[in-house]
Chain A
Amino acid sequence: MRLRVNPIACAAHGLCAELFPEWIQLDEWGYPIVDDEPIPPHLQVHARRAVAQCPTLALVAEKA
């Protein structure tokens, strides 16, 4: 599983970085910088939670 941000939909709420700091950092304007690497199984629960909680559904999980 990998994470991707839709930059048009993202509103810089920063929720995702609060919920999954291992993979997501915020830049100086509050927009997320998401690690490209595949997410190991034990962290995927956090990835899924961040995806479900994003207020604008801009954060997406991809299978590959």
Chain B
Amino acid sequence: MGAFTAAAASAGGNPLWYATRSFGLVALALLTASVLLGVLTSQRIATPKWPRFASQALHRNVSLLALAVVGVHVLTTLMDTYVRITWWAAVVPFTSAYRTGYVALGTIAFDLLLVVTATSLARTLTGHRWWRLVHWSAYAAWPLALGHYLGTGTDARTSWGLLFALACLGAVSVAVLIRLAIERREGPVRVWGGGR
């Protein structure tokens, strides 16, 4: 029994550590969905049965859920004693002694998500031009989160974990390529004029 607990502890058998890993995986899935839905709303893809406001409302709600799950993932990481990470490492990049670089990728992604979400909720106050510009940083946040997972994720070293990462990568790549193709056909979006 003693040997078992020792082995479990050395393998990270702490419930908080498992929570961190699971919430991290769910967060990446939700972020992927959030980006896919974001691309869908920006391209006015709709049918009579699937109106535009539905994509947009779903994009908004999935994004908020994603941020909440990322928040829990960060919280359980900080509470966990298996690896010691100080609370400021959650918001200030490169301050974690543990896997400094790969944790920093997650930190920067978290900061970007906070800014993207805050400006979205205050969209009518900031104005469209600023919101749009800030919102594009979501495209930077997503690969940072993926890199963070591939770099530090214990599960990313298993074959299903790698498959999961590839599925997310594939989905976002296809969506972005379709977005670029539509953009080329219809001409550039005139962001600065506010319309197109």
Report if B95 contacts A (CB, 8 A).
Answer: no
* Closest-CB distance, B49 to chain A (whole angstroms): 12
Q: Which of B57, B124, B127, B194 contacts A8 (CB 8 A)?
A: B194
Which of B42, B123, B128, B195 meets A52, CB within 8 Å?
Answer: B123
- Which residue in B53, B128, B194, B195 is a CB contact (below 8 Å) of A19? B53
CA distance A17 to B86 in the complex (A): 49
Q: Is A11 an interface residue (CB 8 A)?
A: yes
Given A18-B51, A18-B52, decide whether A56 and B195 contact each other with a Cβ distance below 8 A: yes
In the complex, the answer to whether A11 meets B53 with C-beta atoms within 8 Å is: no
Residue of A nearest to B190 (CB): A11
Q: Does B41 contact A (CB under 8 A)?
A: yes
Docked complex Cα distance between A56 and B195 (Å) = 7
Contact size class for B? 10 to 19
**B196 sits at the interface (CB 8 A):** yes
Q: In the bound complex, do residue A11 and residue B52 qualify as a contact, i.e. CB atoms below 8 Å apart? A: no
Q: Are the CB atoms of B124 and A51 closer together than 8 Å? A: yes
Query: Digit string of B33-46 for contact with A (CB within 8 Å is 1, else 0)?
Result: 00000000110100
Residues of chain A having any CB pair with chain B under 8 Å = 6, 8-11, 13-15, 18-19, 51-53, 55-58
User: What are 21 A-B contacts defined by CB distance under 8 Å?
Assistant: A6-B194, A9-B193, A9-B194, A11-B195, A11-B196, A13-B44, A15-B52, A15-B53, A15-B56, A18-B52, A18-B53, A51-B124, A52-B123, A53-B53, A53-B56, A53-B57, A55-B56, A57-B124, A57-B127, A57-B194, A58-B195
